[in-house]
Structure 1
Amino acid sequence: MSDDEGIFGPELFEFLEELEANNNREWFNENRERYEEEVREPAFDFIRAMGALLGEISPHMTARDTKVGGSLMRVFRDTRFSADKTPYKTNVGIQFRHVRGGDVHTPGYYVHLDTESCFFGAGSWMPDRDALAAYRVAIDERPQAWIAARDACQSGDWRMEGERLKRSPRDWSADHPMIEDLKRKSFIAVRDFDHDAVFKPDFPSLIAAWCGETQPLMRFLCTAVGLKF
């Protein structure tokens, strides 16, 4: 790879587009080598590059270039409870999680690549009951810290995403001054980016810079559930 080439090439999205049109095991098995060369191996290269950069943001966030249990999310869909039985995901999902928590709900960073859109996310998606309760207590006890972290992720190209409860959560008054934030079921800062950004040599540095911009949010969430950041 020359200095003016990125880790990912256009063949990444070409493969995903073809997979969308041929989402079956026979086609995937026939094109498995393409998947490994055009999707998985570049993703591992990206993860290794991010590993070197994440240490400057937090020593507790991890980048794992392993086939099982690593930062690259599985291409295989879990179809057990879905009406959609197509076997493969048609996107690339890469997650960088806290070293003390390995599941998708732990505070972390997420990079999403597909043929329609690309986005970066930071925060905690659909946390379990205990973590959600801890976030609500932290918002109640440290509202100014939360407001500062939240508002930093609602300016410019950033937005806060995630479902909210329609009613006040149990044990919280409807007239609480932070009730709209206490209704949140996820705490995620998101920003979109163009496909062309993926092909540039500085793509890992770009993602790392956005990780840096969300430090107040990540620190707040990690602290709320007793994790170091």
Structure 2
Amino acid sequence: MAVPTAFSNDLLDFLKLLKENNDRDWFNEHKKEFKKLEVDAKRNFNRLLDILKTHDDVDRLKNFRIYRDVRFSKNKAPYKTHFSGSFYRRKPALRGSYYLHIQPNNESFIAVGFWDPTKEDLMRIRKEFEVDDEDIRAIINDGKFKKIWGNLLGEELKTAPRGFDKEHKAIDLIRKKQFLFTKNYTDAQVVSPSFIEDVNASFKAVRPYLDYMSSVLTTNINGEPLI
């Protein structure tokens, strides 16, 4: 039996129209259509969750709502023009998460890593890189890994954080405030029958990075377990 298409052109078309008509009246008129598309989309997110669980201890999936929080935003459009969800690894032993973002006009992507580490986690990561940056570089500079995920991304300081030498050989890593990898997808790829399998393969390939970071965040600087 053929593998079902992961996401439909209907979903992408709806999100395009929503971008052009981002107001409550239009959305309410088309809410029945959205609810059907939402059910189909969530089914595919759950399908990916089931596959991820075969090779990682993923605790839960959170599908993000279509409604925007506009209280502190200059952009008062009430609805998001994408569909997304995060897959969380089981804490405290496993850190990091997987993210899937479906957006038309070739703006879909997946992401992994650490978006908003706590102050304590950020310091622990920086201290690890200060002591030894060889292990992390071996992982993220591996040819197969880099072909899929590219370079490490994320916001960073313009100079060294307080207490760190700005001339340190790992200052490019130490300056970072986020530790992320992303991979982009076209609309044609998103509606392809092989999309979920490709996303899963990419997530599986990033495991060495997530497992390394988990080992850092669950031990002290001497390598002694914290949990």
TM-score (norm 1): 0.85
Question: Paired residue for 1:14?
Answer: 13
Q: Which stretches in structure 2 are left out of the alignment for 5+ residues?
A: 220-224
CA distance, structure 2, for counterparts of residue 148 and residue 35 of structure 1: 45
CA distance, structure 1, for counterparts of residue 181 and residue 55 of structure 2: 17
Question: Paired residue for 2:79?
Answer: 88
* 8 Å contact kept, 1:50–1:208: yes
Within the candidate set 173, 179, 191, 2:183 is matched to 191
TM-superposed CA distance for 1:83, in Å, is 0.6
User: Secondary structure of the equivalent of 1:95?
Assistant: strand
Aligned residues: 215
User: Secondary structure of the equivalent of 1:155?
Assistant: helix
TM-superposed CA distance for 1:165, in Å, is 0.4
CA distance, structure 2, for counterparts of residue 82 and residue 141 of structure 1: 41
Aligned 1:1-229 pairs, distance under 5 A: 3=2, 5-38=4-37, 40-59=38-57, 61-64=58-61, 71-100=62-91, 107-116=96-105, 117-152=107-142, 155-159=146-150, 160-226=152-218
User: Secondary structure of the equivalent of 1:161?
Assistant: coil
Radius of gyration: which is bigger?
2
Larger deviation, residues 192-201 vs 76-85: 192-201
CA distance, structure 2, for counterparts of residue 149 and residue 42 of structure 1: 36
Larger deviation, residues 137-146 vs 191-200: 137-146
CA distance, structure 2, for counterparts of residue 173 and residue 31 of structure 1: 57
- Aligned amino acid, residue 171 of structure 2: I
- Aligned amino acid, residue 160 of structure 2: S
Question: Paired residue for 1:67?
Answer: none
TM-superposed CA distance for 1:17, in Å, is 0.6
Q: Which stretches in structure 1 are left out of the alignment for 5+ residues?
A: 65-70
TM-score (norm 2): 0.86
